[in-house]
Chain A
Amino acid sequence: MPDATGLELLAQRVREAVADDAIVGTRFEHGHATLDVHPPRVHAVLSYLRDSDDEPYGFLASLHGCDYLPAEPRLGIHYQLLSMERRDRLGVRARVTVEEPQLPTVTDIFPTADFQEREVYDFFGVIFDGHPDLRRLFMPEDYVGHPQRRDFPMGGEPVLFTFNEHKLPRWYE
């Protein structure tokens, strides 16, 4: 892990190489370093961290979303980067609002993001601009809503069994 100082140095390098507004903040907790990135700069920052930085991170281990309700902006999209050579991890996080949940896709630099961005789109409704095939992954195609958002009710739909099938006429609508 980059330590707290290393994280600040890294953030400075990213600011110089990509753009001044690219890094919104840094966090270092429980030994894990995270860069908060301005959402439109995510692609530029990740491709800089993958290719151009002195300490590159060549592997996208995980991409996942989180709903920080009631904090604003509500949605957080996490990119867990890994450097196999230096055995080092770095988190990158972008926060977007539910009104404008737009992020650039990273599938062109990390093909692994294909399924994972579809998962985040499915569960949180984040639109990844430029994703080649942005469809629901787990939920049915005609499903309404994004179930992992915190304001989506738990148990919002009745579970269908044979005993209550007749009580739910035309349930398939």
Chain B
Amino acid sequence: MSDPLKVPYREREASISLEAMDGESPIAGVELEPESEMLTINLGPHHPATHGVLRLLCTLEGETVRSVEPIIGYVHTGIEKSCEDQEYWKAITFVERMDYLAYYFNAYAYCSAVETLLEEEVPARAQYLRVIHMELNRIASHLFWLGTGALDIGAITMLWWALRERDEVLDLFEMSSGQRLHTRYFQVGGVFEDIPPGWETKVRAFLAEMPSRIDQYEALLDENEIWLRRTKNTGIVPVDQLIGLGVTGPLLRAAGKPWDLRKAMPYCGYEHFDFKIPVGTVGDNYDRYRVRMAEMRESVKIVEQALDGLPEGPYITPNRKVALPPRHELATSMEALIHHFKLVTEGFRVPPGETYVAVESPRGELGCFVVADGSAKPVRVHMRDPSFVNLQALRHMGEGSVIADFIACLAMLDPILGGIDR
């Protein structure tokens, strides 16, 4: 191969269309005004408003965005490939790092897929603990979206306020699992540990406070002229087109389609909880914001109900072939020691088969596809990441809008590049 540094830039980036630089309209059907000129610019990869390492090749006509091409892959780390070289229980650590704001959901989707292949029952207490952690994670993820999204539009106070509450959630995670991010709390067959004494009180204190905090956010944003002008009636995509594009989650619900996997195809005991699915009417950026705010309130309600109804019993499956025996048994029981040794050195084997499990992550349908061949390592782990699929809708949201609205569209899309690139 020749020295790439000697190849001219345009040849190296052969896939990028620079037609617009030559004065011809790059978009069919859009006639340029005689003296107007198309400008092709890169938004990103290193740009704070791209929420990660996302590069958007935009063609601008003045302030108007005429075409958008997302270019991704800058943080592709081959997590799916790495999972194929790990035992099933070690791969949990890897999948958590895909969508790094919604790690509980990644872990749940993966563990649930493996449990399906093993046909392993999860105890009721473990399911409730999973729901509690996932919904707290949803609140934390939405708070991070709110802070950074508002920051993109210039509302810097929102960043401090939202991260303040998010930190409280992370403190709760730290108390229950020992880690703030990427907790690896979910195990195949249940959860790693029971919640510590005093945790429930702290969660309840947080839940009591959270609705009033959301009121504060809304008081700050809902009457803010700049916020409303940036979000209202911008980035509207019809619901049929969103479905064709595979968009799920708050984006689809904001367009008026009440599709939420927690209600539609309940998993992990969500059928036991009473909650509503917020939907929008217009499908603009403002609706996307309102839907996520309402979802946080619903999550608070779910966590409250799960704490009230938290069943007694084991927090992980008693099946020693899958879950580690309790530590104290190792000193007295030979079988426990053997099981512990086998699980730690070899891991458990999963019978051949393949399955696809989908859960509702804060960004939409998070699907996990696992293929097993009977060994202790998966043949294939694939995550259908909602950010990855939703990103395709950005073009339809942003084209034709002014660039400031386009940034708002990107913020309300809520892409997580760790999940997109995997």
Task: For the complex formed, measure the closest distance between the CB of A29 and the CB atoms of chain B, giving whole angstroms.
Answer: 5
Instruction: Establish whether residues A173 and B3, one from each chain, have CB atoms under 8 Å apart when the complex forms.
Output: yes
Among B78, B81, B84, B244, which residue has its beta carbon within 8 angstroms of that of A112? B244
User: What's the minimum C-beta distance from B51 to chain A, rounded to whole angstroms?
Assistant: 18
Q: How far is the CB of A95 from chain B (nearest CB, A)?
A: 13
Report B-chain residues with C-beta under 8 Å of the C-beta of A148.
80-81, 380
A71 smallest CB distance to B (angstroms): 9
Enumerate chain A residues within 8 angstroms of B72, measured Cβ to Cβ. 137-138
Bound Cα distance A101, B23 (Å): 40
Q: Does A24 contact B (CB under 8 A)?
A: no
A138 adjacent to B246 (CB under 8 Å): no
Question: Judging by beta carbons under 8 Å apart, are A91 and B356 in contact?
Answer: yes
Give the chain B neighbours of A61 by CB distance below 8 A.
Answer: 246, 358, 365, 367, 384
Residue in A62, A78, A138 whose CB lies within 8 Å of B421: A138
A14 at interface, CB cutoff 8 A: no
Distance, CA A79 to CA B358, complexed state (A): 14
Among A80-135, those with CB < 8 Å from B are 80, 84, 87, 89, 91, 110-112, 114-116, 135
A92→B5 CA distance, assembly (Å): 45
Contact of A161 with B by CB under 8 A: no
Contact of B246 with A60 in the complex, beta carbons under 8 Å? yes
Size class of the contact patch on chain B: 35 or more
The answer to whether A73 has its CB under 8 Å from any CB of chain B is no
| Chain A: CB-nearest residue to B365 | A61
Main secondary structure of the interface of A (DSSP, over half): loop
* Cβ of A66 under 8 Å from chain B: yes
Contacts of B8 in A (CB 8 A): none
Is A62's CB under 8 angstroms from B4's CB?
Answer: no
Instruction: Check B81 against A66 for contact (C-beta < 8 Å).
Output: no
| A30 at the binding interface (Cβ < 8 Å) | yes
CB distance from B419 to the nearest CB of A (A): 13
Flag if A80 contacts B392 (CB, 8 Å): no
Task: Encode contact with A along B111-135: 1 for CB under 8 Å, 0 otherwise.
Answer: 0000011010000000000000000
What residues of B have a CB within 8 angstroms of the CB of A173 in the complex? Answer: 1, 3-4
Chain B residues with CB under 8 Å of A112's CB are 244-247, 389, 392
A36 within 8 A of B: no
Interface residue ranges of A1-52 to B (CB < 8 Å): 29-32
**What residues of chain B lie closer than 8 Å to A170, measured between beta carbons?**
3
Chain A neighbourhood of B78, CB < 8 A: 147
Question: Is A154 part of the contact surface with B, judged by Cβ < 8 Å?
Answer: yes
Cross-interface CB contact of A147 among B81, B245, B264, cutoff 8 Å: B81
- CA distance in complex: A137, B259 (Å): 29
**Chain B residues with CB below 8 A from A140, complex form:** 73
In B364-422, the 8 Å CB interface with A consists of 365, 367, 369, 371, 379-380, 382, 384, 388-389, 391-392, 421-422
Cβ contact within 8 Å between B380 and A137: no
B73 and A62 contacting across the interface, CB-CB below 8 Å: no
What are the interface flags for B1-22 relative to A under an 8 Å C-beta threshold, 1 for contact and 0 otherwise?
1011100000000110000000
Tell me whether B369 and A62 are in contact (CB under 8 A). yes
- The verdict on A87 contacting B244 (CB below 8 Å), with A62-B356, A62-B384, A138-B76 known, is no
- Residues 148-173 of chain A: 1 if any B CB is under 8 Å from the residue's CB, otherwise 0? 10100010000000000000001011
Interface check B355, CB cutoff 8 A: yes
A110: nearest chain-B partner, CB-CB: B244
Q: Quick check: A142 and B355 within 8 Å, CB to CB?
A: no
29 contacts between A and B (CB under 8 A): A29-B355, A30-B355, A32-B355, A32-B356, A58-B243, A60-B246, A61-B246, A61-B367, A62-B356, A62-B369, A64-B369, A66-B371, A66-B382, A68-B371, A68-B379, A80-B369, A87-B264, A89-B265, A110-B244, A111-B245, A112-B244, A112-B245, A112-B247, A115-B388, A115-B391, A115-B392, A137-B72, A142-B1, A148-B380
Q: What 9 A-B pairs come out closest when comparing CB atoms?
A: A112-B246, A62-B384, A138-B73, A138-B76, A64-B382, A66-B380, A111-B244, A87-B264, A30-B116
Given A61-B246, A61-B384, A84-B257, 20 more A-B residue pairs with CB atoms under 8 Å apart are A30-B117, A30-B355, A31-B116, A59-B243, A59-B246, A62-B382, A62-B384, A64-B369, A64-B382, A64-B384, A67-B380, A80-B369, A80-B384, A84-B264, A111-B246, A112-B247, A112-B389, A137-B73, A150-B84, A154-B82
